[in-house]
Structure 1
Amino acid sequence: MSSLLRLATAGSVDDGKSTLVGRLLYDTKSVLADQLDAVTRASVDKGLSTPDLSLLVDGLRSEREQGITIDVAYRYFATPKRSFVLADTPGHVQYTRNTVTGASTAQLAVLLVDARKGVIEQTRRHAAVLALLGVPNLVLAVNKIDLVGYDEATFTVIAEEFAEHAASLGYERGSVLAVPVSALVGDNVAEKSDKTPWYSGPTLLEHLETVPVAPDPHDSAFRFPVQYVIRPRTADHPDYRGYAGQIAAGTVRPGDEIVVLPQGIRSRVEAIDTADGPLAEAGAGTSVTLLLADDVDISRGDLIAAADRQPTVTDEITATLCWLSAKALKPGARVLVKHGTRTVQALVGELHARFDEQTLSSVDDPATLELNDIGRVTLRLAEEIGVDDYGVSPRTGAFLVIDPKDGDTLAAGLVGERFA
């Protein structure tokens, strides 16, 4: 059975992300005949002599009309060696929030640059976001290499500049690969190009097929946010009480000792139910219903965790925020914090620092956080929650900051200090 790789694309506007994704789908024969026919007709209508593969992925009408990617689109393709889930994210600065969403579960990110422009401000911004999210592997796809005459020197300068920047963000050189590609004509995407004899590395697809996939970081300690309490009260099940949700991290088995947070009540897992019958074991990502040995007062928003490896229960968290709203964040603001299935009121405390992703330095005690800023902030919560450091357990170390007035998402938060 082939393994699964979750990856994301990132890059600036017009760097060719959609064309590259379309090329991957086309070269791996993941495009239906009628889809390709529709793209071919649309390309002819635009006056093109070859199919515009970006049309395979820019599905929204506004995306097609503007020639840009706006929303995150998930694509699925496979080769005999591996299956892939790809999050195609936007390049515009105002859609950085979508990049955060798409890259949040990625094991690898393909960051595109235009060979004519090299590493630019948005490249550095995206690299910083990927580093903060803990994406372990990066590929720098130096696209449109054909438009610089397949020049080795141009590629080398771009690759070395990015490697230095990535190293400053904490990436080891072995986890960053630069590949010269032309998504338009297919150079070094799925097949080696004879126009870059100076490049001895793998094609993009070869690297995606062979890059080691680390064990899922969510498999740290058992974490289960309760989504729903099931009490059928039928004649066949008069005393049934189950706690439904999706396992956020770790593995659970009948007999395991657990703790319910924030109450701190201990019990034991008696059974694991699913729509297809009981399980002897369930892991991260599985939707289950847990039955406990004791009659415990549990409701939506509570967290069931491994009793011997508990998260921190607190009403104050220091976290890194990726600010995603045009409304500036100021100390004293009242917000909602959504962590797992629990939403609590919160007050913004101190703004400790703002990270400058261009200079890789920190600005202490900023007055505000503006759109796309990354900062370290203290939040005071009206109720206690159980949290992990994001670096230890991403699913229970992440949260959203929401505007209590209109429900808009204001920020993505990562528990812990992600930069100095």
Structure 2
Amino acid sequence: MTTTTAELQHRTLRVLVVAQVLSGAGLAAGVTVGALLAQDMLGSTGLAGLPAALLTAGSAVTAVAIGRISQEWGRRPGLATGYAVGALGSVGVVVAAVLDSSALLFAALFVYGAGSATNLQARYAGADLAEVDHRARAISTVLVATTLGGVVGPLLAAPTGDLAHMVGVPHLAGPFLLAGVAYLAAAVVLATRLRPDPLLHARELASSELASSELASSEVALTEVPPGPVAETRAAQVRHGILVGATVMVLTQAVMVAIMTMTPVHMRDHGHGTAAAGAVIALHVAAMYLPSPVTGRLVDRVGRTPMAIASGVTLLLAGVLAAVAPDDSVLLLALALALLGLGWNFGLVSGTAIITDAVPIETRARTQGWVDVSIAIAGAGGGLMSGVVVEMTSYSVLSFAGGLLALAILPAIAGAARPRTPLAAA
């Protein structure tokens, strides 16, 4: 990596960090009270998981759009547009709460999901200009930036609720006011500061390197290796990397969303207030993002596959602890949610690195968008089914089942540990 490119990478990470701090507050604030708001408006615990399902469904649609926009015009317009749409959805949730309109709430939560998709897509931008052996660390830098906003957001759930109540807005809609402001600010930062665009610059570098390589190879006889088998091998490696990386992230997302969504509902049903639930979710969000620098180094040094396996084991421990924790024990629930966030972190960083290693720069943004669609659909399914499972059985059953599902990561990647090749060194 040249000095100029290294400086650009550092600048890109700085801009992304600022935007992620802001967007983290918007994301976590809404997650904290989304299920509670739906439960109050719909009068049903079974539908309390619907906000998470709608949010992640909206995230799936947005992931495709951001991927296409980024593929054509770069990361800057893609990410800025996603956050702006998320801000619009936040305002819609507040209006729905004021009007007590369930239909508008559903539509607004779907649009609000754009913020979640954009928050995740930003991690790819951090890796566009990173060297192969530093990609996981670059990804983790972007993720850890979400921690500050992600921790502050839930802690402001009660104060923003009180402020909303003072101006005639339902208490549980208050955090969505914060989300709207935070997402809009993130959009402005990216639109004005993410220049030059990291993805477009990475393509320029890749084109220059390819031209130099072709010029050098034109002086050598190319009779040693048939081009057909080489192309087939590259395509197989790309497919393999996409399948393994996507499987890890899909499973971790489904388990995390299902258990996280119903934890505030479970706590309120057993006498805990919004502040207590907000503290538990804040710790959970911190565990999702704060360990990222360490996780990134481990993924780069220990390997992608070992850390993916660690993700499944950690999520199993989280599910079992949440299942056996006494209903009145905030401490054990907080510990379980912290492990849940940590397991998700392991899976996201390792899975993202696997995907980025495998996919060539020419098609990277579009492929990453479709992978995140799968992740969002998994989260939507987890969120939607979580309320039904709890209503039919219990929170303990949901948590234990989630932990067992996480173990599917192990057979899914069994035999998948292959030596990493610099397919997409760009």
Structure having the larger proportion of residues in strand = 1
TM-score, normalised with respect to structure 2: 0.26
For CA contacts below 8 A with separation 6 or more, give which structure has more relative contact order. 2
Larger Rg: 1
